[in-house]
C-alpha cells in the first residue's frame, strides 16, 4: 500500500497551510475565508528519508450555507477511502466543537490510523489548550502551528512510523503533463470527470468552481500521463476576489509546467479574446496544444457548421494554424477520447527527433527549388539543417547570410517541415546560423 496522508477537518482550521508546509511549496490557496479548498489536492513530501503523498481536502461540514457543501463532503470521503493515514486537524483557538465530534465519528468508520493535529498553538503557553481534544478518544493529540511550523516535526515523526513502506520520491517524475485550460464555465472539470469516470473535480453551473490546479494520473493508449484541471482564466479587470486572483496564478503556473494544453472553448460563445490570449501564451512557451470545442451537443448544426466555425477560429488566432480542433461534448462524452488522442499525438510530436540526414534529404531539394530571395544583390545559400536538443522542436539552418532570411521565407521553411514530418499540435522554432 502506498504512503498516502489525508489532511481532514472542518473549515478554516489550517489544512491548506499544513499541506503547503509539508510539500514545501505554496501549492494550495490559503485564505481566512472558509471553504476556499473544494476539490482534493495532491502533493509530495519527505520526512527523514520517508516519502509520501499528501491530500489536502475541503472543510467537512453539514447544514451550512455553502452551496458546495455536499460535493466537498464527497471529496473528503473519497480522500478518506484512498489514504493510508489520517491527520485530523482541529482548532485550539475555537476549541472542541460539535462539528469536530460529528466528523470524528465518520473518521472512525475508515479504520485508518488517525493523528490529531491541534492547530494554532502559536506560543508554548497555549499547549495546554490542546488537551481537551483527548475527549475525542482517538489517541495522542499533537499541538502544532501550521503557520510557523512548531510541533509539526513531532507530528511527522509519529506519522512516518505508521507507513507501510519507504515510499517513492516523486511518482510523477518524467511523466507527461496535460493541462486543461480555458475561460470559466467552459467545461474543464466536466471533461476531467468524464475522462476519469469519477468525481475528481466538483462541477456546477457557477463560474469559478475550481480554484486549485487538480492533478490526476491517467492511463490510456498504453501511455501514462497526468491530467491537470485548472481554474478558469479571465481578464484581470474582471477578477475582484483575492481567491480568484490566486486561482488564475495557479492556472498560469500550470500552463508553464505542462507539456500539452487542452484549451476548452464554449461552442455557444465561440473563441473569445481571452481564449486567444491563452493560446498565444501557450504558443510563446512552446507547448503542445489541442482545441476542444465543448458543448457541441447544444449547437444547431449541419454538415458545414464545424468547418465554418473552425475557419472563423483560425482567422482569430492567425498565423497559428497547426492546432488540431475537436468538436466534442464532455456532458455526453462525444469525442472526448479523441481529445486525449490528439493531446497524446501533440506530446509525441513535441518530443519527436528527426535524423539530420532525413532533414537534409527532405528540405535541401525544396530550398534549391525555391531559394531565399536575394537581398541587396547578395545570394543567400542554406547549406545544412539539423535539429537541436530543446523542449520545443528546434531546427538550425546553417547559411552564409543568416541576417537576411526574411520572415515570409521562415514561414515557408516551417510549412515544409510540417508537411514532411507532421508536427501537428506543437510549435516549432527555426534558428539561422552562419556556416
With a cut of 90, say whether residue 289 has pLDDT above it: yes
Higher pLDDT, 157 or 83: 157
What pLDDT, on the 0 to 100 scale, is given for residue 314? 92
Q: Can you say whether the dihedral through the CA atoms of 287, 292, 294, 300 is positive or negative? A: positive
- 200 pLDDT above the threshold of 70: no
In 10-112, which ranges are E strands?
Answer: 41-47, 50-56, 85-91
What mean pLDDT comes out for the span 2-25? 85
The radius of gyration of the chain's CA atoms, rounded to the nearest angstrom, is 26
Buried b (16+ CB within 10 A) or exposed e, 141-152: bbbbbbeeebbb
Distances in whole angstroms, Cα of residue 101 to Cα of each of 61, 118, 139, 408 = 11, 14, 14, 70
Task: Please confirm whether the linkage preceding 355 is cis (ω < 30° from 0).
Answer: no
CATH 1.10.357.10 fits 4-161, yes or no: no
Identify the DSSP state of 371.
P
**Alpha-carbon span 325 to 346, nearest angstrom:** 12
Between 159-173, 239-253, 383-397, the lowest mean confidence (pLDDT) is in 239-253
More confident of the two residues 222 and 320: 320
Residue 205: DSSP 8-state: S
Q: Which residue has the cell 490559503?
A: 30
Q: Is the model's pTM score more than 0.95?
A: no
Per-residue pLDDT band at 369 (split at 50, 70, 90): very high
pLDDT given for residue 214 in this prediction: 58
CA distance 282 to 322: 13
Mean pLDDT across 181-206: 70
pLDDT tens for 56-97 read 887 776 655 544 556 677 777 877 888 889 999 998 888 898
Average pLDDT, the chain: 82
Residue 233's pLDDT is 64
**Predicted local distance difference test score (pLDDT) of residue 232:** 60
Same fold? 4-161, 177-350: yes
**Is residue 328 over pLDDT 70?**
yes
Please tell me the distance from the alpha carbon of residue 382 to that of residue 401, in angstroms, as a whole number.
Answer: 9
Q: Which CATH superfamily groups domain 177-350? A: P-loop containing nucleotide triphosphate hydrolases (3.40.50.300)
Report the distance separating Cα 7 and Cα 42, nearest Å. 11
Q: What angle do CA 11, 15, 20 make, to 5 degrees?
A: 145
Mean pLDDT of 299-305: 87
Q: Cell numbers at residue 9, please? A: 477537518
Q: What pLDDT was estimated at residue 207?
A: 40
Q: Which residue has the higher pLDDT, 79 or 309?
A: 309
Task: List the chain domain ranges.
Answer: 4-161, 177-350, 356-434
Residues 6+ apart with CB under 8 A from 271: 265, 312, 313, 316, 317
Most confident listed range (144-148, 234-238, 275-279, 292-296)? 292-296
DSSP string, 133-185: GGGG-SS-EEE--TTT-TTHHHHHHHHHHT-SS---S-TTTT--EEEEEESTT
pLDDT band at 221, cuts 50/70/90?
low
Q: What is the Cα–Cα distance from 401 to 384, expressed in whole angstroms?
A: 13
Query: Spelled out in words, what is the top-level CATH class assigned to the domain 356-434?
Result: alpha beta
Phi, psi of 223 (to 5 degrees): -115, 150
Q: Tell me what the mean pLDDT of segment 112-136 comes to.
A: 85
Amino acid at each position: 500500500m502506498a504512503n498516502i496522508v489525508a489532511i481532514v477537518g472542518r473549515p478554516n482550521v489550517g489544512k491548506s497551510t499544513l499541506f503547503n508546509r509539508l510539500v514545501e511549496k505554496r501549492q494550495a490557496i490559503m485564505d481566512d475565508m472558509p471553504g476556499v479548498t473544494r476539490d482534493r489536492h495532491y502533493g509530495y513530501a519527505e520526512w527523514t528519508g520517508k516519502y509520501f503523498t499528501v491530500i489536502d481536502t475541503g472543510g467537512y461540514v453539514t447544514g451550512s450555507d455553502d452551496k458546495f457543501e455536499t460535493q466537498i463532503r464527497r471529496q473528503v470521503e473519497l480522500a478518506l477511502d484512498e489514504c493510508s493515514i489520517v491527520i485530523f486537524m482541529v482548532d485550539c483557538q475555537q476549541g472542541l466543537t460539535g462539528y469536530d465530534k460529528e466528523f470524528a465519528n465518520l473518521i472512525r468508520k475508515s479504520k485508518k490510523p488517525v493523528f490529531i493535529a491541534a492547530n494554532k498553538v502559536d506560543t508554548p503557553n497555549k499547549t495546554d489548550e490542546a488537551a481537551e481534544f483527548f475527549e475525542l478518544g482517538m489517541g495522542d493529540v499533537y499541538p502544532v502551528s501550521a503557520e510557523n511550523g512548531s510541533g509539526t516535526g513531532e507530528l511527522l515523526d509519529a506519522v512516518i512510523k505508521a507507513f507501510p513502506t519507504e515510499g517513492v520520491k516523486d511518482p510523477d517524475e518524467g511523466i507527461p503533463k496535460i493541462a486543461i485550460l480555458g475561460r470559466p464555465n467552459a467545461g474543464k472539470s466536466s471533461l476531467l470527470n468524464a475522462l476519469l469516470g469519477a468525481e475528481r473535480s466538483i462541477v456546477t453551473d457557477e463560474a469559478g468552481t475550481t480554484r486549485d490546479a487538480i492533478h490526476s494520473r491517467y492511463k490510456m493508449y498504453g501511455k501514462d500521463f497526468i491530467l491537470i484541471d485548472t481554474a478558469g482564466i479571465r481578464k484581470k479587470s474582471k477578477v475582484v476576489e483575492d481567491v480568484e486572483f490566486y486561482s488564475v496564478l495557479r492556472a498560469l503556473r500550470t500552463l508553464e509546467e505542462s507539456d500539452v494544453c487542452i484549451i476548452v472553448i464554449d461552442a455557444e460563445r465561440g473563441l473569445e479574446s481571452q481564449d486567444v490570449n491563452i493560446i498565444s501564451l501557450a504558443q510563446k512557451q512552446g507547448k503542445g496544444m489541442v482545441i476542444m470545442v465543448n458543448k457541441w451537443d447544444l449547437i444547431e448544426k449541419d454538415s458545414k457548421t464545424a468547418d465554418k466555425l473552425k475557419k472563423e477560429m483560425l482567422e482569430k488566432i492567425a498565423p497559428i494554424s497547426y492546432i488540431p480542433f475537436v468538436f466534442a461534448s464532455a456532458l455526453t462524452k462525444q469525442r472526448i477520447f479523441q481529445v486525449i488522442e490528439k493531446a497524446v499525438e501533440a506530446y509525441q510530436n513535441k518530443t519527436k527527433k528527426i535524423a539530420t540526414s532525413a532533414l537534409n534529404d527532405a528540405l535541401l531539394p525544396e530550398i534549391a527549388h525555391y531559394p531565399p530571395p536575394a537581398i541587396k544583390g547578395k545570394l543567400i545559400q542554406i547549406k545544412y539543417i539539423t535539429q537541436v536538443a530543446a523542449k520545443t522542436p528546434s531546427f538550425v539552418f546553417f547559411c552564409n547570410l543568416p541576417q537576411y532570411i526574411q520572415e515570409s521565407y521562415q514561414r515557408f521553411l516551417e510549412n515544409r517541415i510540417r508537411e514532411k514530418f507532421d508536427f501537428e499540435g506543437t510549435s516549432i522554432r527555426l534558428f539561422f546560423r552562419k556556416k
